Structure 1
């Protein structure tokens, strides 16, 4: 009998990623139906279940308000800050929309995307593969952070001054570039170094510019 691993997250609100007692109880109540529950560094839980119980287990978890995403070589759920400056000022609605747009996309190696609602960067966005930092009324976009090893490195600024409507197209274009040009098991930092910041900037600017042009014509 085969087994399947998948990711579980509650999403986030003001206060960050918070599992409610009801959600934890739902997971704990499945002790006889799941093989393993693993904490990850992506603010997700990995749940392993038998193939024949998979649909049943996932349906119950969704009923408890949890999001289900694939595990493995995919973009992870958005790793966000605590939104301590408040939902509107920290851009909670934009972060939620970005999370829905990016989570679970197949990529050459796991992709971590970070979000900070202000320049304090309490979610450590510059240590993520792709990072978004809200700066008053606009957003800065960074790429290529690496938190591990003796060659740890901060992400580099790619674009600055993006408006909310430009952000998701720019980020999803970066993911698409990694899908198309990345090598199997290649880290995103190595991909950025090989593909070059200039090419990624051009692609992201093109995506953001398309949205800007459409808005002007509307």
Structure 2
């Protein structure tokens, strides 16, 4: 029986793809003029900011992250958009007793800001961000911490996300995983990582939890 749903945030509950890509382009064009395109930035969706900046500019991570965060925070509210029926589905899940958690590679403060824009701050029992863990997804640590704080067993939870890191983190923690077909990289990309479920619409979760 499913008692808890763990969600990635960016690209899963809130459409932050344009925000993230525009922010990377702003930072990268300043440091590496003309070397990156928006398409190149797709591979940066999912990994932690620290990991990505370490790969792009070793030794300059702190400065690059600071520039990223400055632009990202300034333009956050204007560039994010909502996916259909996310909040209404979360409300229905909450009403039938499902525990809800966020497991993200974002800082906790930015998760809170995104939830505020989404109008869903009141719906989540637990939020795990980078401030809570030493190891981010696909490491199982954040998923296991969420399960512990929710007080549920592994067989009672599903990890849901739009990226390989989400599916792998769920599996590495010993729980089932679901991909979302609205992922920027597409459902075919996610199917490579063998999620137990593929959500074509947020409301699919209602059928999944009712089926047990």
Q: TM-score, normalised by structure 2?
A: 0.34
| Bigger radius of gyration | 1
1 or 2, which has the higher helix percentage?
2
Of structures 1 and 2, the one with the larger relative CO (CA 8 A, separation 6+) is 2
Q: TM-score, normalised by structure 1?
A: 0.33
